[in-house]
Chain A
Amino acid sequence: MSPVLAARNVTKVFTTGKDQSLLAVDNLSFEIGDGEFLCLLGASGCGKSTILNMFAGFIQPTSGEVLLRDKPIVDIEPRCGMIFQSYALFPWKTVRGNVEFGLLMKGLSRAERRERAAAFIEMVNLRGFEEHYPAELSGGMQQRVTIARLLAADPEVLLMDEPFAALDAMTRQVMQEELLRIQERSGKTVVFITHSIDEALILSSRILVMSARPGRIKAVITNDLSTPRHIAVQVSPEYGKLKSTVWDLIESEVRRHSMEPAPN
């Protein structure tokens, strides 16, 4: 089976000043299969966001290549839809206007846009808020709008950059469950960035543990916790065992990283 997304020997160097550069990602290679829920797990500064931005086509690798269905990604790629941590909703559009945006770009008729948008607004439990502006909604609701907006645009892959990091702990749990439900129903491939081991364990089918600065893959863990998954999985003994495995892998990274002075 050919992968949906692939990174082949990807290296990314950022120039941070005159004669100064930062190696963010170092010779990274991995593949993501159809319908997979892959979590990139690592401490801050491990190049997780850099990888995601390359998959979305926002930035290009310094060397190596990122591929979508075996074709290099060289420009902003709407088939890899991005969910931003800060939502990035259009403040001047209502919930409906935001959700319809991708459909409008595809040239769908007004009636079709309405109908499809309504279905996705329903899917993220926001019926009755169609005419509200984003500023009227709570953080959790705004993030649900971005999910509906992206699903309506129907990309092949959902790229999620710590989408729930700005939410309070309880809202985050609710959102995680909703995301699981949505992913099971839509069957979309998801690449999800997090620095929370719990979040990675609850959501993923596979976890890439990343080392910090430069970003390399430290370990690949298949998450075989039962599906369909529920938040209650956290109290099972398998969960505890998996969590301590992951933590052992990460702990040394975090310690090493917190000792070093920041490069800038």
Chain B
Amino acid sequence: MGESELHPEVSVVADIVSNERLQSRDGLSAQRMPPLEAASQPGRRADRKRRSLLLISTLSVLLVLALWYFSTERGWVSPVFLPKPGRVLGEGAASLASGQLLIDIWMSTQRVLLGFMLAGAVAIPLGIVMAVWAPAKAAVDPFVSLLRPLPSITWIPLTMLWLGIGEAQKIAIVFMGSWIYILLYTIESTKRVDPLLIRAARNLGARDLHVMLHVILPGALPGIIAGLKVTLAISWSCVLTAEMIAAQNGLGAVIWQGKDWGNLALVLVGMLCISIVVLLADKAAGVLERLMLPWERHTRN
């Protein structure tokens, strides 16, 4: 019901998340079957299938790289439009060696983390309160509706006026772009906590505070964490926008400098770094998620 309230992007992800849950619940009965020789056969087949799919992925990447290499090497594409892979590698190695690239990566990461954590610190408690207490939701909802359609980039003039062009402004941009998504995910997953479990807890003598600590919070946690993972990627795109407009350093600034100096290789280095860093951040979040939700391991596969 509340899914339609979410931003379309987020609601698709929410669908995927809930589908995953449903599937895993169906899978549960299969999991309980004794893992005899009959079970290992399809297991091995799935393994082989996974390996052949991985091979296809690898080949596809190699094919695109080869296409890039030959098209630039043979002069089919002018280096003005696309630099040679070797140039990009060289540029990357040079900026790594000078240490500047690591500083840029660290600056962006720092801004994302600060803005993102600030957004979580505000949105998670607020979302839980809004989910369990209707007056709070009624009070905040109008602002959520008004602020949600605004891309974080639209906050740049105001935040610059208020905060200058220092770190605080970048963090504010990340915050403004992230908190609403975390809020919506938190409200949604708090509302989805099984009311039967709340009933059961009360029947076992739990009072409000205990219901909150032992049922609502852990029940909503998987959904909140899923929301944080999606939002983390959004936070990254916010920081890059902010850095492209006004920053001395950071990956967004790298790309913009590359453009200003006509150094396309540097632009590509910046883009590549963003992809890798966001990918690593997502992996790290996945590890953290598994550590925080030990019970989900059993409902997932």
Residues of chain A having any CB pair with chain B under 8 Å: 56, 58, 76-78, 80-82, 84, 86, 88, 90-93, 101-102, 104-106, 133, 135-136, 138, 149-150, 153
Contacts and interface: CB of A to CB of B under 8 A. Distances in A.
Main secondary structure of the interface of B (DSSP, over half): helix
B204 A153 contact: yes
Contacts of A92: 218-219, 221, 293, 295
Contact of A106 (B199, B201, B205): B205
Given A58-B203, A84-B196, 6 more contacts: A84-B200, A86-B196, A90-B200, A105-B204, A105-B205, A150-B204
B44 interface: no
A76 B196 CA distance: 13
Contacts of A138: 32
Question: What is the size category of the interface that chain B forms with chain A?
Answer: 20 to 34
Contacts of A93: 214, 295
A42 B37 CA distance: 45
Given A105-B204, A105-B210, A135-B295, A58 B28 contact: no
B176 interface: no
Interface in B47-64: none
4 tightest Cβ-Cβ pairs between the two chains A and B:
A105-B205, A88-B200, A135-B298, A78-B205
B203 A56 contact: yes
Contacts of A76: 199, 202-203
Contact of B299 (A91, A101, A149): A91
B251 interface: no
Nearest to B28: A135
Contact of A78 (B32, B194, B204, B293): B204
Contacts of A56: 203
Contact of A133 (B196, B200, B210, B295): B295
Contacts of B32: 138
A84 B221 CA distance: 24
Contacts of B219: 92
A124 B206 CA distance: 23
B197 interface: yes
B269 interface: no
Contacts of B28: 135
Contacts of A78: 202-205
Contacts of A58: 199, 203
A81 B295 CA distance: 26
A56 B199 CA distance: 10
B295 A82 contact: no
B204 A81 contact: yes
Contacts of A101: 201, 204, 206, 214
27 contacts: A58-B199, A58-B203, A78-B204, A84-B200, A88-B196, A90-B201, A90-B214, A91-B295, A91-B299, A92-B293, A92-B295, A93-B214, A93-B295, A101-B204, A101-B206, A102-B204, A105-B204, A105-B205, A105-B206, A105-B207, A105-B210, A133-B295, A135-B28, A135-B298, A136-B298, A138-B32, A153-B204
A78 B199 CA distance: 11
A88 B197 contact: yes
Nearest to A141: B32
Contacts of A88: 194, 196-197, 199-200
B197 A81 contact: no
B140 to A, nearest CB: 28
B215 interface: yes
A221 B151 CA distance: 70
A133 B204 contact: no
Nearest to B204: A102
A82 B203 contact: yes
Contacts of A86: 196
A81 B199 CA distance: 11
B298 A133 contact: yes
B203 A81 contact: yes
